[in-house]
Structure 1
Amino acid sequence: MPSPIPVTRLLPKDIYPSLDLGTCSSPLTRPSHGGATSLQVPVQRPHGRVASRLWSSVIHWKELRCVRPVGSGGFGSVYRAEYLGQTVALKRVKKCAKNKLASRQSFWAELNAAHLRHGNVVRVIAATTCVPADFGDEGSIGTVLMEYVGSRDLQQVIYGCAELGEDRWLRYAADIARGLSFLHAHGVVHLDIKPANVLVSDADVCKIVDFGCSVKLDRGCDAGAVAPHLSHVGGTYTHRAPELLKGEAVSPEADIFSFGITLWQLATREQPYTGDRQHVVYAVVAHDLRPSVRAHPVFGTARGRLCATLLGRCWSGDARCRPSAQELLPHLEQLRSSRT
């Protein structure tokens, strides 16, 4: 069965024209010799530009040590490990018995940003679809090795930190906006921006992680053009843009809506909605329900009023009215420099 996402969508177009695609009909392969397993991705030509590829399609399992569980989610589990002398995060994407196609798509979507490098995006080191028997379980679709950022995510910081000053959460917001600006410039839409999918490093820098819901938009096409089989996007309903809840086309502006909900959480340190999921989704789409800005003193100051205005633009029901990620940055800088 062919991969739901063509291999050419895992690499930028300035790279993949120089690849030998071979005859593979699926990226799923059996273990190779020498203790390594790999994705059957295009091989390098000696004169090609793939020598500069920034991630590996091979995991050397004999070099992987001290695998310890860190957490788990809907489509996978995350571990801390040592690989080639470096601390890494290992994510195993598990099979979903109820929706096997969705779990396969989740694994391949994890690699949409694998070729990209940015200080506010978690870096992919290597990936494979085949795990040796003594390293994995039969329920795994694939494994992704990533840089280890730390054990804290923004969700834990917002709701578990004793103090979160305005300058600090505005700096976090700017980190996320810079990461999104970079991703969108390379055609990647994350589609699940929320505090739990933003890691906070020991240096107090935010990095976007978990690309299992992401989509790679084709360059040169309409921003809303996505493959039909990816139109049923996932994500978290409290942060999902209303156009996605209605089943409309994917665009980078969907991430801006999610950013707006996240920014509100940073400012208020509260949950955006209460009540039944079905009622919330209906109200967001039909009645423009948004988190409240009137009931919070933080929005009563000069800085808070500017923030409330920016929030209104970010979570506009009309995606065309939302700022781009790049346009967010000067607004956030204005907020940081404004008087409280």
Structure 2
Amino acid sequence: MPSPIPVTRLLSKDLYPSVELSTCSSPLAQQAHGSSLQVPQTRLHRRVCSRSWSSVIHWDQLRSVEPVGSGGFGSVYRAEYLGETVALKKVKKSSKNPLASRQSFWAELNPAHLQHPNIVRVIAATTCVPADFGDEGSIGTVLMEFVGSRNLQQVIYESSEPLEEARWFRFSRDIVAGLNFLHSHGLVHLDIKPANVLLSSADVCKIADFGCSVKLDRDCEMSSISPHLSHVCGTYTHRAPELLRGQQVSSKADIFSFGITLWQLLTRQPPYTGDRQHVQYAVVAQHLRPSLRDHPVFRTALGRRCSVLLGRCWSAEARSRPSARDLLDLLDQVHSQT
């Protein structure tokens, strides 16, 4: 769960609320009856219709709602909505840090106006849920495309299906293509890991779970946000060292996380052993990284090329890591030499 950060970092200035976040408030505006997030009419065509984003959830159109999974964030359901299979995510209020829960919910809407084949599409969202569906512990609901019931974490560690070169390369390219799109729109995910990459029935990877995401300042490659974010948001095994040190956020943090994820795809092993505090300290102070020697895959010609690429992705200096755009080319070069 991310720590409190300014709502202005989560959504553009003309969409965030200027008053306190009450039960039915939203950065899109309040509706009189409190049943949806309603975009002001002056912005409707430009901000909603042109990008197929709807700010209204028609609850009476939900059919066959079935639970899919749950966790610390809340619960996910599969449902039919206006003739389409969708995922419905209820974000749970944290009793320890309710403000962080709210801001995690708004961060989930950062990609709401964006569409890309490797990004989970947001359809609609609301902070007000009908009594027969909601509960007091829910902050709000996000309606998204239903990608499938599997993620890369399950494929890597919980299945025996092969991850041959052609497949892990395709998965890697899907993830980087999604990151390149996000970064080109000033959005940093900050929690890239196998569990946050969903796998469609067509074996296509889609980046999901934007609860830690941050919008960078316009025309700025780095963002000076609350230092607490870098210590709390994201997953420690995939977190870039500059975030562990409480420094500025940039798109290169996602590149570091992708490097750890690619290593997992190649080895099907956990990146680190030991307790959390030791790993975090070692990553920053001792440049700890997953081993590039112990696994047989790195003894092949392809593995040696991958190890060079991984070394660039998880460089201690953010500026030394490739951009997502450059990383697409580097992946192609690694694959083309086989």
TM-score exceeds 0.5: yes
Q: 1:301 to 1:231 in 2, by over 3 A?
A: closer
Matched, 1:104 2:106: no
Matched, 1:29 2:24: yes
Deviations 1:130-184 (CA, angstroms, capped at 9, x unpaired): 1010011111001000000001101111121331101110110000000000000
1:70 corresponds in structure 2 to 68
How far 1:338 sits from its partner (Å)? 1.8
How far 1:223 sits from its partner (Å)? 1.7
How far 1:225 sits from its partner (Å)? 3.2
Matched, 1:219 2:218: yes
1:138 corresponds in structure 2 to 136
Q: C-alpha distance in 2, partners of 1:151/1:321?
A: 36
Q: C-alpha distance in 1, partners of 2:161/2:17?
A: 56
2:292 corresponds in structure 1 to 293
Is the contact made by 1:28 and 1:40 (CA closer than 8 Å) also made in structure 2? no
Q: C-alpha distance in 1, partners of 2:247/2:312?
A: 20
Q: C-alpha distance in 1, partners of 2:85/2:257?
A: 30
Q: C-alpha distance in 1, partners of 2:31/2:48?
A: 21
| Structure 2 SS opposite 1:171 | helix
| Structure 2 SS opposite 1:126 | strand
| Structure 2 SS opposite 1:218 | coil
Q: C-alpha distance in 1, partners of 2:214/2:333?
A: 31
1:128 corresponds in structure 2 to 126
Q: C-alpha distance in 1, partners of 2:259/2:228?
A: 27
Q: 1:271 to 1:47 in 2, by over 3 A?
A: closer
Q: C-alpha distance in 1, partners of 2:151/2:53?
A: 24
1:10 corresponds in structure 2 to 11
How far 1:33 sits from its partner (Å)? 7.7
Letter of the 2:240 counterpart? A
5+ residue gaps, structure 1, are none
| Structure 2 SS opposite 1:59 | coil
Q: C-alpha distance in 1, partners of 2:64/2:19?
A: 34
Note the aligned Cα RMSD (angstroms).
2.5
| Structure 1 SS opposite 2:237 | coil
1:86 corresponds in structure 2 to 84
Q: C-alpha distance in 2, partners of 1:257/1:168?
A: 21
Percent of pairs with identical residues: 70
Q: C-alpha distance in 1, partners of 2:317/2:245?
A: 13
How far 1:100 sits from its partner (Å)? 0.7
2:176 corresponds in structure 1 to 177
Is the contact made by 2:37 and 2:56 (CA closer than 8 Å) also made in structure 1? yes
Q: C-alpha distance in 2, partners of 1:321/1:205?
A: 29
| Structure 1 SS opposite 2:249 | coil
1:200 corresponds in structure 2 to 199
- In the superposition, the TM-score normalised over structure 1's length comes to 0.89
Is the contact made by 2:10 and 2:106 (CA closer than 8 Å) also made in structure 1? no
| Structure 2 SS opposite 1:238 | helix
Letter of the 2:189 counterpart? H
| Structure 2 SS opposite 1:79 | strand
Q: C-alpha distance in 1, partners of 2:73/2:45?
A: 39
- In the superposition, the TM-score normalised over structure 2's length comes to 0.90
Q: 1:286 to 1:85 in 2, by over 3 A?
A: same
Is the contact made by 2:114 and 2:121 (CA closer than 8 Å) also made in structure 1? yes
Q: C-alpha distance in 2, partners of 1:93/1:281?
A: 28
Is the contact made by 1:27 and 1:39 (CA closer than 8 Å) also made in structure 2? no
Is the contact made by 1:213 and 1:233 (CA closer than 8 Å) also made in structure 2? no
Q: 1:134 to 1:222 in 2, by over 3 A?
A: same
Q: C-alpha distance in 1, partners of 2:17/2:146?
A: 34
Is the contact made by 2:47 and 2:113 (CA closer than 8 Å) also made in structure 1? no
Is the contact made by 1:124 and 1:144 (CA closer than 8 Å) also made in structure 2? yes
1:57 corresponds in structure 2 to 55
Is the contact made by 2:70 and 2:76 (CA closer than 8 Å) also made in structure 1? yes
Is the contact made by 1:226 and 1:250 (CA closer than 8 Å) also made in structure 2? yes
Query: Which one of the candidate residues 113, 116, 119 is aligned to 1:115?
Result: 113
Q: C-alpha distance in 1, partners of 2:292/2:230?
A: 32
Is the contact made by 1:254 and 1:319 (CA closer than 8 Å) also made in structure 2? yes
Moved more, 65-74 or 246-255: 65-74
Letter of the 1:308 counterpart? S
Deviations 1:78-103 (CA, angstroms, capped at 9, x unpaired): 11111111110000100000011110
Higher relative contact order (CA 8 A, sep 6+): 2
2:270 corresponds in structure 1 to 271
Q: How many residues align?
A: 329
How far 1:54 sits from its partner (Å)? 2.8
1:315 corresponds in structure 2 to 314
5+ residue gaps, structure 2, are none
